[in-house]
Amino acid sequence: MGSKLRIVNGRLYDPANGVDGEVRDLCVEDGRIVESVGPDAKKIEAQGMVIMPGGVDIHCHIAGPKVNLARKLQPESHRYDVQPRTAFTRSGTGGTVPSTFTTGYRYATLGYTTAMEAAVPPIGARHTLEELHDTPVIDKGFYVLLGNNVLLNQLMKEGRRDELRQAVAWWLNATRAYTIKLVNPGGDEPWKGQRNAVITDLDQNIDSFDITPRQVITSLIEVANELGLPHPAHIHCNNLGHSGNYKTTLETMRMAGDSRVHITHIQFHSYGGEPGKNPTSMAPEIAAYVNDHPNVSADVGQVMFGKSTIMTADAPVAHLLRRLGSDKRWVNSDTECESGCGIIPFSYQEHIYTHALQWAIGLELFLLTKDPWRMVLSTDHPNGGSFMSYPRLIRLLMDRDFRDEQIKLVNQRAIRKTTLADGLSREYTLNEIAIVTRAGPARLLGLKNKGHLGVGAEADITIYEEDEDKEKMFTAPRYVLKDGKLIIEDHEFRGDNEGRILHVAPAYDPEIEKVIKPFFESYYSIRFENYAVTDHYLRAHEEIATAKPMAAE
Ligand SMILES: [Zn+2]
């Protein structure tokens, strides 16, 4: 690198450092933000432009076994959305599940420079890392699925608490993951093993293991905190999508006590009503709980109208939804992995009651939550919609007139069940958008050098031309810099970048391998020695430090 750059006359939005729209110069040297650079530095004139840190996506699905299956399942979406190569970028295909190259480039065209793949079965770690290495421009990492792990379940059942913590630390190292992900905790294994048995209650006994979802959730929240992971347990609650599931969501948040916890795509978990009947909105109750509990954070999982791909490690819910897809295609897979998987091509439509309600609940959560640092933006890409719909979502949050027009176009029976009918007047400011799209997710992920523009921060910078139409403004930044390298200039690609894999490596006692190895030899189709991802498998990567373990002997 070594390049020096001074960006002049732009309006800076850097909420982590309390900078709210001040016009000031920003200097870059060797890939970092610096105090100043000499007169020989290259200059970017940014008058009339807004400068923000690069976007950080805390929850998306962009790599790994289920993502690849979803690509194979929808060849038509590639045929109709071809991205040709340019002098700087490689070719690819789009649709709701773009190819690896196109995923990286499209994030860059929105001004995003970091994205976290949110659900990988441990045995799929190598595959995921290969795809992430192949995803250009952005830094990236993944969350490893440990909420339906047979060996961990046994350790929980037998109360072997210390070994549980050691085993989780071993698994995080073996996969090079970023944090622990729970999906339908405790619910996938019985579904796979007992003729699609469905676990609906947090205190329901999971027969094959003699434990409950509550035990799985509380133990893994504790372990994540004890290991000092930079991001806490990332939880997709039980009963996703079911009417009445807000009770499960509230109870899951309560279980954390004062410990940090992140509830993902919380929109899909904010439904009232009787199970099996039409859902209602419980967004106000969920928002109130989050408002009152600073240990809890969430991402919204906004639904956006149009094509999506339901893609989840929650195998039972995909199995249940399989008839609701936009065509006959559906996959349940990965049943042999330490998790599950389901994929359904889908389309959200304005006139359908449930879809309109889901869209409205997402907006309610954004508008009713007081602290934008803890309710950050996601569509659970590609579940609620593609990440390419973020600019439209930003306009919905920033522009009340636009929002009110859109509200009129959707199923009114659904709108009447929500507080949107009361005319929520809040409009997000640019500062709040900077929080929910970059500063907030970076802070929740514990990424100290991202999401801000203070001295020492990574020079991941996005420069937008100001525009009344916020969708237009956020769709095509004028400049995007990654680690100080100019990737996009005047809306065109001018460079490429590999990006780093972000992962943790918490310390563990190697004695735990004596517990894990025999289990492998009895049950796995892969030898223990071949399972863990080794250093030589990683190309550009960065280990994010864990805090000192709390009270761990
Ligand atoms: Zn997800």
The pLDDT score that the predictor gives to residue 340 is: 85
SS (H, E, C) 165-231: HHHHHHHHHHHCCCEEEEECCCCHHHHHHCCCCCCCCCCCCECCCCECHHHHHHHHHHHHHHCCCCC
pLDDT averaged per 10 residues, the chain (length 553): 87 98 97 96 97 98 96 93 95 97 98 98 96 97 96 96 98 98 91 82 90 97 97 97 97 97 98 95 98 98 97 89 85 84 94 98 98 98 98 98 98 97 94 98 98 98 98 98 98 96 97 96 91 90 84 43
Q: How far is the CA of 312 from the centre of ligand 1 (A)?
A: 6
AA identity, residue 161:
R
Q: How far is the CA of 342 from the centre of ligand 1 (A)?
A: 12
Q: How far is the CA of 123 from the centre of ligand 1 (A)?
A: 18
Q: How far is the CA of 109 from the centre of ligand 1 (A)?
A: 22
Q: How far is the CA of 58 from the centre of ligand 1 (A)?
A: 10
The pLDDT score that the predictor gives to residue 334 is: 77
Which residues are within 5 Å of ligand 1 (an ion), measured at CB? Answer: 118, 380
DSSP state of 54: P
Sign of CA dihedral 164, 169, 174, 178: positive
Q: How far is the CA of 61 from the centre of ligand 1 (A)?
A: 6
Counting beta carbons within 10 angstroms of the beta carbon of residue 402, is it exposed (0 to 12), middle (13 to 18) or buried (19 or more)?
middle
Q: What is the pLDDT of residues 138-190, one digit of tens each?
A: 999 999 999 999 999 999 999 999 999 999 999 999 999 999 999 999 888 88
Q: How many whole angstroms separate alpha carbon 133 and alpha carbon 148? A: 27
Counting beta carbons within 10 angstroms of the beta carbon of residue 517, is it exposed (0 to 12), middle (13 to 18) or buried (19 or more)?
middle
CB-based contact 56:437 (threshold 8 Å): yes
Q: How many whole angstroms separate alpha carbon 357 and alpha carbon 243? A: 12
Q: How far is the CA of 238 from the centre of ligand 1 (A)?
A: 13
Q: How far is the CA of 552 from the centre of ligand 1 (A)?
A: 31
Query: What token pair was written down for 337?
Result: 């992995």
The pLDDT score that the predictor gives to residue 549 is: 55
Q: How far is the CA of 7 from the centre of ligand 1 (A)?
A: 36
Q: How many whole angstroms separate alpha carbon 57 and alpha carbon 62? A: 11
Q: What is the distance of C-alpha 425 from the center of its chain?
A: 28
CB-based contact 474:110 (threshold 8 Å): yes
Predicted TM-score (pTM) of the model is 0.97
Nearest partner of 183 among 345, 283, 65, 317, judged by Cα: 317
117, β-bridge pairs:
60, 142
Domain ranges of the chain: 52-493
Supply angle C-alpha 34, 38, 40, rounded to 5.
Answer: 125
Q: How far is the CA of 183 from the centre of ligand 1 (A)?
A: 9
CB-based contact 300:378 (threshold 8 Å): yes
Q: How far is the CA of 318 from the centre of ligand 1 (A)?
A: 13
Q: How far is the CA of 66 from the centre of ligand 1 (A)?
A: 11
The pLDDT score that the predictor gives to residue 551 is: 47
Q: How far is the CA of 132 from the centre of ligand 1 (A)?
A: 17
How many other CB atoms sit within 10 Å of the CB of residue 422? Answer: 7
Q: How far is the CA of 300 from the centre of ligand 1 (A)?
A: 11
The pLDDT score that the predictor gives to residue 182 is: 97
Q: How far is the CA of 235 from the centre of ligand 1 (A)?
A: 10
CB-based contact 182:235 (threshold 8 Å): yes
Q: How far is the CA of 311 from the centre of ligand 1 (A)?
A: 7
Q: How far is the CA of 303 from the centre of ligand 1 (A)?
A: 12
**Pairing, β 306-312 against β 341-348:** antiparallel
Sign of CA dihedral 397, 399, 401, 405: negative
CB-based contact 496:88 (threshold 8 Å): yes
The pLDDT score that the predictor gives to residue 337 is: 84
Q: How far is the CA of 264 from the centre of ligand 1 (A)?
A: 7
Q: How far is the CA of 454 from the centre of ligand 1 (A)?
A: 31
Q: How many whole angstroms separate alpha carbon 174 and alpha carbon 535? A: 10
Q: How far is the CA of 187 from the centre of ligand 1 (A)?
A: 16
Q: What is the pLDDT of residues 310-324, one digit of tens each?
A: 999 888 888 888 888
